[in-house]
């Protein structure tokens, strides 16, 4: 088996450099890199942040001026005759956004760019909320009704914007499935490894990966994942409705407890973030561009604004106006970055373990650095065990909700490929097999590092394909937004307001 993993790793060896090329171009060229400030930004960062700024300005900062409306939509109980409720769609999208990257990505960004990276994460996320509004609204505008459910998202609005081109729809569906298949092994790996860590914490003994406990965990995870995957979107949303609030509350509450316990370090946190954003410490490279790029890159890859990878959940909702889901998509970015990621930032920065033990900090990976920070903030071994247990449980739920979300969205993407139920079943089975592969890698104790690079590659490819579609369809989002903010009581009608036929608007 180890020979198989080694062979796969060697085959995928090109993925890391290819991913770095797409993320970093054109900063590899000296003529560009030597440009003041601009030379620090790759084309990917310019596209993502620039688009967020453009959409935010054109929409008159709707993510700020109408955030109260988003909160009212979340707390208002509304049943859905078709599809799922707006709240259920928000929970499903949050299940995808709030993932292991909220811990690993933030820790990695601070490790490379210093505390100031968190400030730029906040800034990029604010503008990313504008991009998310556009994505969510477009997903609603071009959704379709099939078998009593709403389906839509990137493959659907992409096809509609190109005059109903079947080729475009198929390409974007395959692209999303490619993205999911690239990310699923890592999520499967994370779920089982975190359950193993919980077992070790509870028992007080290191549980070997090649043990009955790990094999049993793998079987249970795959069984529950299969039950949800084959149960359809409503069964998945019932699961995410239950898990997302639990994992968010536990994570925030545990972090707040650590902050209160170490309240004397709170001033240091804010000083480090705001001064580090413009005057980075030499320990982290001391380059302003590095701080900014790390904050922007990891922030946007955590909340996924601009990737189009969460638009399937937005399309599934039974909203009264397309812009409602746009606001909830923006709120999802706020939850992911300004709340969950910030909680991680509090722990890593307040602990500032890099000053206490620089050697251990530099030698550790992202998760060990995070746990090192947690340990330094807990006063006793008993409290440290309880806190680590709670945070490891959150990490497990973060990974698991991402796992089921990706499989569910792959199913929706496959609906754009074919109406044949066998195609959907085949995609479900393929996703489960790929997730099982990631679990097997963990049990075998083998580190397929190139699979992690595969996720980064899939992310940037999605960005380059999705952002042009957002610009192409922005004219319709702008018209829908004007109708929404006008306060008109007239039901939304795509033909009258947009000048085009929209399958589900007016609402039947």
Q: 502 in helix, strand or coil?
A: strand
The DSSP secondary-structure symbol of 491 reads P
Read off the tokens for 189.
């790996």
Determine contact, residues 476/141, Cβ cutoff 8 Å. Answer: yes
Determine contact, residues 233/316, Cβ cutoff 8 Å. Answer: yes
Collect all residues with Cβ–Cβ distance below 8 Å to 419 and sequence separation of at least 6. 146
Read off the tokens for 356.
């206490």
Read off the tokens for 124.
């990029």
Identify the bridge partners of residue 505 per DSSP, sorted by sequence position: 502
Burial pattern 231-261, b for ≥16 Cβ within 10 A else e, equals: eebeebbebbbebbeebbeebeebbebbbee
Determine contact, residues 81/282, Cβ cutoff 8 Å. Answer: no
- The pLDDT value recorded for residue 446 is 65
Split the chain (508 residues) into runs of 10 and give each run's mean pLDDT: 65 74 82 78 85 94 88 73 71 76 81 84 90 94 83 89 89 88 82 85 78 84 84 76 83 90 90 83 62 72 80 85 91 89 90 78 75 84 83 86 83 78 83 82 66 76 92 94 86 86 80
- The pLDDT value recorded for residue 508 is 63
Domains detected in the chain: 42-481 (1.10.4160)
**DSSP assignment string, 122-165:** HHHHHHHHHHHHHHHHHHHHT-EEETTEEE-SHHHHHHHHTTT-
CA–CA dist 356, 182 (Å, integer): 37
Read off the tokens for 382.
């008993």
- The pLDDT value recorded for residue 5 is 64
- The pLDDT value recorded for residue 482 is 93
List phi, psi (to 5°) of 465: -90, -30
CA–CA dist 69, 383 (Å, integer): 40
């Amino acid at each position: 088996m180890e020979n198989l993993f080694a062979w796969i790793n060697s085959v995928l060896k090109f993925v890391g450099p290819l991913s770095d090329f797409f993320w970093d171009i054109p900063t590899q060229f000296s003529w560009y890199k030597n440009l003041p400030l601009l030379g620090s930004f790759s084309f990917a960062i310019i596209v993502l942040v620039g688009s967020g700024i453009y959409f935010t300005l054109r929409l008159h900062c709707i993510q700020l001026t109408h955030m109260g409306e988003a909160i009212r939509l979340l707390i208002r109980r509304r049943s859905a005759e078709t599809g799922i409720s707006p709240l259920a769609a928000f929970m499903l999208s949050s299940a995808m956004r709030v993932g292991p990257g909220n811990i690993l990505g933030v820790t990695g960004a601070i490790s490379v760019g210093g505390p100031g990276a968190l400030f730029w994460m906040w800034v990029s996320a604010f503008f990313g909320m504008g991009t998310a509004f556009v994505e969510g609204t477009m997903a609603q505008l071009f959704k379709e009704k099939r078998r009593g459910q709403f389906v839509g998202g990137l493959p659907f609005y992409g096809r509609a914007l190109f005059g109903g081109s079947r080729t475009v729809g198929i390409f974007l569906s395959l692209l999303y499935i490619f993205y999911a298949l690239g990310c699923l092994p890592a999520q499967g790996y994370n779920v089982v490894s975190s359950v193993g860590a919980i077992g070790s914490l509870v028992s007080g003994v290191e549980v070997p990966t090649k043990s009955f406990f790990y094999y049993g965990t793998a079987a249970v995870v795959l069984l529950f994942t299969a039950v949800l995957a084959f149960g359809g979107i409503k069964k998945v949303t019932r699961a995410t409705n239950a898990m997302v609030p639990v994992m968010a509350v536990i994570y925030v509450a545990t972090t707040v407890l650590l902050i209160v316990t170490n309240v004397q370090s709170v001033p240091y946190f804010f000083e480090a973030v705001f001064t580090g954003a413009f005057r980075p410490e030499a320990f982290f490279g001391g380059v302003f561009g590095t701080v900014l790029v790390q904050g922007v890159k990891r922030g946007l890859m955590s909340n996924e604004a601009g990737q189009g990878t969460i638009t399937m959940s937005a399309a599934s909702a039974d909203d009264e106006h397309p812009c409602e889901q746009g606001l909830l998509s923006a709120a999802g970015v706020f939850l992911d970055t300004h709340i969950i990621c910030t909680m991680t930032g509090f722990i890593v920065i307040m602990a500032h373990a890099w000053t206490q033990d620089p050697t251990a900090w530099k030698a550790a990976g992202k998760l060990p650095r995070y746990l090192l920070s947690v340990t330094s903030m807990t006063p006793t071994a008993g409290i440290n065990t309880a806190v680590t247990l709670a945070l490891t449980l959150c990490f497990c739920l973060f990974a698991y909700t991402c796992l089921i979300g990706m499989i569910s969205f792959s199913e929706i993407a496959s609906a754009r490929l074919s109406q044949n139920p066998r195609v959907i079943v085949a995609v479900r089975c393929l996703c489960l097999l790929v997730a099982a592969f990631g679990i097997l890698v963990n049990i075998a104790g083998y580190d397929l590092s190139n699979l992690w690079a595969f996720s980064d590659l899939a992310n940037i490819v999605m960005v380059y394909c999705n952002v042009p579609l957002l610009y192409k369809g922005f004219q319709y989002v702008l018209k829908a937004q004007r109708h929404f903010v006008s306060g008109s009581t007239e039901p939304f009608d795509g033909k009258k307001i947009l000048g085009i036929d929209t399958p589900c608007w007016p609402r039947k």
